[in-house]
Chains A and B, each alone.
Chain A
Amino acid sequence: GAGVSQSPRYKVAKRGQDVALRCDPISGHVSLFWYQQALGQGPEFLTYFQNEAQLDKSGLPSDRFFAERPEGSVSTLKIQRTQQEDSAVYLCASSFTGGYMNTEAFFGQGTRLTVV
């Protein structure tokens, strides 16, 4: 596709439920990033992939958060046993080169997760 695509756009989960968020980056983009954006805040870094390798997962808030990109294209962010504080917009971004290296990073529209 022409841009970064994320699905679903909206997800309502009951507390304790597992969720999976999908990101389709721009074709050919090497780098993929996940960010968490709480209401009224700027996005905060979660994790970074270069192709299929997860090079940085320092931003994942707990071991309930897991991300993968097995074939170096589509990525999935999984949250186990969701809690109310997980409610946020989850943004995915991709860029052509490894790391940002002054190149454009393109963001998807995000998945708004609400945990009730």
Chain B
Amino acid sequence: KNQVEQSPQSLIILEGKNCTLQCNYTVSPFSNLRWYKQDTGRGPVSLTIMTFSENTKSNGRYTATLDADTKQSSLHITASQLSDSASYICVVEYGGATNKLIFGTGTLLAVQP
């Protein structure tokens, strides 16, 4: 079954600290992996998109890594800000007949002052 699993489920950190979120997937065939940020009551917003040949991609203070061999990805957030408080969702695009996005359940991040 095509699945995307994330850890931890939730995380609390102090403002200014770094953190790393994990994602494991079993989706096959694989097209690409994305990290989305979802603020409460809003739709997901894309942070990064990586194909199997890319193993790292940055977007400001966000850096995503991908190991296509082990089917693992991480999202590292540097120097966290209060506005980083949100759900971070790992999403794998299925490369089969219909390119659908398969979402993880997300990691809920709370940044405290």
Chain A 75-116: CB-based contact to B (< 8 A → 1; otherwise 0): 000000000000000010100000111101101111000000
Determine whether the beta carbon of B98 is less than 8 Å from that of A43: no
Partner of B99 from A59, A91, A99 at Cβ < 8 Å: A99
Q: Report the nearest B residue to A42, measured CB to CB.
A: B103
Determine whether the beta carbon of A109 is less than 8 Å from that of B99: no
Q: Decide yes or no: A109 and B100 within 8 Å by CB, A100-B31, A102-B49 being known contacts.
A: no
Max chain B Cβ within 10 angstroms of own Cβ: one of A41, A44, A102, A109 = A102
Q: How many angstroms from the CA of A48 to the CA of B96 in the assembled complex?
A: 14
Determine whether the beta carbon of A56 is less than 8 Å from that of B44: no
Determine whether the beta carbon of B89 is less than 8 Å from that of A42: yes
Determine whether the beta carbon of A56 is less than 8 Å from that of B98: yes
Determine whether the beta carbon of B45 is less than 8 Å from that of A107: yes
Chain A residues near B104 (CB-CB < 8 A): 42
Chain A residues near B91 (CB-CB < 8 A): 42
Q: Report the nearest B residue to A92, measured CB to CB.
A: B43
Chain B residues near A59 (CB-CB < 8 A): 100
B101 within 8 A of A: yes
Chain B's interface: helix, strand, loop or mixed, by majority?
Answer: strand
Question: How big is the B interface, by class?
Answer: 20 to 34
A55 within 8 A of B: yes
Q: Report the nearest A residue to B104, measured CB to CB.
A: A42
A45 within 8 A of B: yes
Q: How many angstroms from the CA of A58 to the CA of B87 in the assembled complex?
A: 26
Chain B residues near A35 (CB-CB < 8 A): 101, 103
Q: Decide yes or no: A109 and B43 within 8 Å by CB, A33-B100, A99-B99 being known contacts.
A: yes
Q: Report the nearest A residue to B36, measured CB to CB.
A: A107
Determine whether the beta carbon of B100 is less than 8 Å from that of A102: no
Q: Report the nearest A residue to B99, measured CB to CB.
A: A99
Chain B residues near A58 (CB-CB < 8 A): 98
Q: How many angstroms from the CA of A110 to the CA of B97 in the assembled complex?
A: 26
Q: How many angstroms from the CA of A98 to the CA of B52 in the assembled complex?
A: 20
Chain B residues near A104 (CB-CB < 8 A): 46, 49
Determine whether the beta carbon of B43 is less than 8 Å from that of A33: no
Counting from the closest, the 8 A-B pairs by CB-CB distance are A107-B43, A42-B103, A99-B99, A56-B98, A100-B99, A42-B105, A45-B100, A43-B103
